[in-house]
Amino acid sequence: MSICKIVAFVALSTFCGICFADQLPVADKADPVDFQWGVKIPLRDGVQLNATLYRPQGQKDALPCVFTLTPYIAQSYHERGMYFAGHGYVFLTVDVRGRGNSEGEFTPLLQEAKDGHDIVEWLAQQKYCNGKVTMWGGSYAGYDQWATAKEFPPHLTTIVPVASPFAGVDFPRRNNIAYPYDMQWLTFTSGHTGQEKIFEDGGFWIAKFKQFYLDHRAFKDLDTLIGNPSAVFQTWIEHPQIDAYWDGYNPTSEQFAKIDLPILTITGQYDGDQPGALTFYREHMAHASAHAKAQHYLVIGPWDHPGTRTPRAEVAGLKFGPASLLDMNKLHKDWYNWTMKSDSKPEILKNRVAYYVLGIGAEDWRYAESLDAVTAEARPLYLTSQDGHANDVFASGSLNPAKPTGGEKPDRYVYDPLDTSSAKVDAVEMPNMLTDQRWILQQSGKYLIYHTAPFEKDVDIAGFFKLSAYIALDQPDTDFHVSVFEIQPDGTNVFLTDDMLRARYRGGDRAARSVPKGMIERYDFNRFTFAARCIQAGSRLRLVIAPMNSLYSEKNYNSGGVIADETGKVARTVTVSLYHGAQHPSALLVPIAKAEPPKKD
């Protein structure tokens, strides 16, 4: 999978909570459903939201209520409403304010906390509700579950946030690097009505992003180029790093400490919002009480973003075993039954964390007491090369378990932001993006590439890779993209995980620091996505360190200025020097999975 295609895959699978090919699994027998369109929900400021109500036919007894709060038009979740109402729940699909048939003005994310609180408390007063209220949904509708929970509505009984973006962490940018996709999503959610046809027109968006990329336009002009000037986009541009503005979207540490209700967090290894979902999980586990932490469960499947709601057996060239195809409707129902109807715990929740291990002959669910407990050790592999040559995929540097003892020549790549050769491949459809390596072969010589020796036996990895690299630049800034692959004995390339870093934020996302010319500093890439896979005997690991140069990411022209304002006129070619050896032991830390207990006969 190419570097640019990785960026595209992550960005384009991020934050669209509706799956347009939302084919639900064959449902078990459901009861008849009563339907009511146009239910009005009053909010504290007088705005009325529009909802569609689904109830068990002829409902007599009050029941727990489930609702989803969505900017994607309430009718999009008709099938979900029919399912849950057919299995003993009242279900409402609610248009967020300013979308669909709801009143008010849509302000992405920021409005949902108080509105979610008001919906919970209004529902608890309805005759068909027994006072227990929960929420359903992923992506945007996962985020707004956390947003609602931080307002502490008394009748919110449990939440199941799925693929939840954490504002400022993975949407509308990841690690302070923005996506052109932001404007695709903002166009999709413009106005009150649906914009599915525009949003789904891949050819249109690729052409626009390509034009923008080739013209070296300032990122702040993207909305105008698209033809949809956006005040929201410009506001996001004004906050290029984590600050109080982004903090305002998310729970504070004090609010995390007070959230005490059963929570089931769900994400996927190839979910573009995995960083956000796991940030919510980690923050809650870091600040909550022992009682609250004991009620918080985590499921990480092999899925992409839509697959967190409707798992598929194959994603972008990777095929998954049958155990990966969880019936997500049933999992939600079983969770609701357990937390709101005193039924038995869902079968998949054998421990606090359930994660799926990929790999030939190894695919299955495994369990741990905590996310940290998934990993037994972080095993270092030290970067080295032959006389400073690590730029060719066929004559690369090495990843060695032995710590270097001598001095070595640094490895270097040269990156010109005006080089647009990647566009030739960026715009090509690659259905097998997770296994395709055409782009890395085409761009050979422009990256740093390192391989391990073939593994002598199968090795299970699970957790988070980390890279500590000693780097010097001759320009004040640049963007890095670091990725790890399994190269199987037959040459098949399997993408495992990635991280990205803007050099000015090497000390943290809240403060920019210009890079001193020529100074060797340690860069810590410690925000790789979660990976769990059996690396088969004969396979090698491949580490790629590359510039961010894609029509799917904000362009950094390396000048050290305000990136959103910069054009190609200020572009600077940067030489990136990576040092290794005894004095500068650059190393990739590999998460080795904890040993599986022997299976009982």
- Pairing mode of beta strands 156-158, 129-135: parallel
Q: Is residue 579 part of a domain?
A: yes
Check residue 505 and report its DSSP letter.
G
The three-state secondary structure class of 355 is strand
Classify residue 360: in a domain, yes or no: yes
The total domain count for the chain is 3
Q: How many helices (H) and strands (E) does the chain have?
A: 16, 27
Domain identity same for 364 and 409: no
The pLDDT of residue 14 is 53
Q: Which pLDDT does position 412 carry in this prediction?
A: 97
Q: Look at residue 10 and tell me whether its pLDDT is greater than 90.
A: no
pLDDT value of residue 19: 43
- Cα dihedral angle (139, 142, 143, 145), rounded to 10 degrees? 160
Same domain, 447 and 363: no
Which one of 237, 264, 288 terminates a domain?
237
Q: What is the pLDDT of residue 6?
A: 52
Q: Kindly state the DSSP code that residue 513 receives in the 8-state scheme.
A: -
Q: Which of 23-32, 164-173, 334-343 has the lowest mean pLDDT?
A: 23-32
pLDDT value, residue 21: 39
Give the three-class secondary structure for 112: helix
Whole-number pLDDT of residue 600: 59
Q: Is the pLDDT of residue 3 over 50?
A: no
Token pair in block for residue 554: 């904000």
314 and 383 assigned to the same domain: no
Phi/psi at 575 (nearest 5 deg)? -105, 120
The percent of residues above 70 in pLDDT, for the chain, comes to 95
The answer on pLDDT for 5 being more than 60 is no
Q: Specify the pLDDT at position 531.
A: 98
CATH of the domain at 325: 3.40.50.1820
Strand order from edge to edge, sheet including 33-42: 33-42, 48-56, 90-95, 63-70, 129-135, 156-158
Q: Report if residue 11 sits inside a domain.
A: no
Residue 339 lies in a domain: yes
CA neighbor of 261 nearest in space, from 336, 149, 337, 352: 149
Q: Is there a domain that residue 4 lies in? A: no
Tokens standing for residue 312? 């598929």
Beta bridge partners of 461: 533, 592
Q: What is the pLDDT of residues 124-181, one digit of tens each?
A: 999 999 999 999 999 999 999 999 999 999 999 999 999 999 999 999 999 999 999 9
Does 8 reside within a domain? no
Would you say residue 598 has pLDDT above 80?
no
Of 12 and 350, the structure prediction assigns the larger pLDDT to 350
Does 326 share its domain with 402? no
Residues 294 and 405 in one domain: no
Whole-number pLDDT of residue 362 = 79
Interatomic CA distance for residues 429 and 5, integer angstroms? 9
Residue 121, pLDDT > 70, answer yes
Signed CA dihedral, 557, 563, 568, 570: sign only: negative
pLDDT for the residue 423 = 86
Residue 243 lies in a domain: no
Looking at the predicted structure, is the pLDDT value of residue 428 above 60? yes
pLDDT in tens, 526-561: 999 999 999 999 999 999 999 999 999 999 999 999
Strand partners, 469: 523
How is residue 90 written in tokens? 């009242």
Rounded distance, CA 278 to CA 298, Å?
A: 9
- Cβ 41 vs Cβ 103: under 8 Å: no
Q: How confident is the model at residue 310 (pLDDT cuts 50, 70, 90)?
A: very high
Same domain, 386 and 526: yes
What are the pLDDT digits (tens) for 85-116? 999 999 999 999 999 999 999 999 989 999 99
CA proximity to 307, closest of 102, 22, 592: 22
Instruction: Write down the pLDDT at residue 15.
Output: 52
The residue with greater pLDDT, 597 or 557, is 557
User: Which domain range does residue 278 map to?
Assistant: 16-166+250-370
Q: Comparing 451 with 19, which gets the higher pLDDT?
A: 451
Average pLDDT, the chain: 93
**Same domain for 202 and 134:** no
Position 297 scores a pLDDT of 98
Whether 559 is in a domain gets the answer: yes
Backbone angles phi, psi at 379, to 5 degrees: -95, 120
Q: What angle do CA 355, 437, 554 make, to 5 degrees?
A: 80
111 with 151, same domain: the answer is yes
pLDDT at residue 27 in the model: 55
Task: Determine how many CB atoms are found less than 10 A away from the CB of residue 510.
Answer: 14
Last residue of a domain, one of 188, 207, 237: 237
Asked if 402 and 432 sit in the same domain, the reply is yes
What does 217-279 look like in DSSP terms, one character per residue? --GGGHHHHHT---HHHHHHHT--S--HHHHTTS--HHHHHH--S-EEEEEEEE-TTHHHHHH
Q: How confident is the model at residue 31 (pLDDT cuts 50, 70, 90)?
A: very high
Amino acid at 489: P
Is 580 in contact with 384 (CB distance < 8 Å)? yes
Q: Are residues 289 and 406 in the same domain?
A: no
- Going from the C-alpha of 365 to that of each of 197, 302, 325, 358, 359, the distances in angstroms are 38, 10, 11, 9, 12
Query: In a 3-state reduction of DSSP, which class is residue 51?
Result: strand
Is 295 in the same domain as 438?
Answer: no
Q: For the domain that residue 393 is a member of, what is the CATH number?
A: 2.60.120.260
pLDDT at 596: 76
**Domain stop point among 324, 354, 370:** 370
Confidence (pLDDT) at 17 = 47
Task: Determine the residue type at 532.
Answer: A
Share of the chain above pLDDT 90, in %: 87
pLDDT band at residue 436 under the 50/70/90 scheme = confident
pLDDT tens for 470-510 read 999 999 999 999 999 999 999 999 999 999 999 999 999 99
For 75-84, write each residue's pLDDT tens digit. 999 999 999 9
Write down the residue that tokens 């004991």 correspond to. 294
Mean pLDDT of 309-318: 94
pLDDT of residue 18: 46
Same domain, 523 and 429: yes
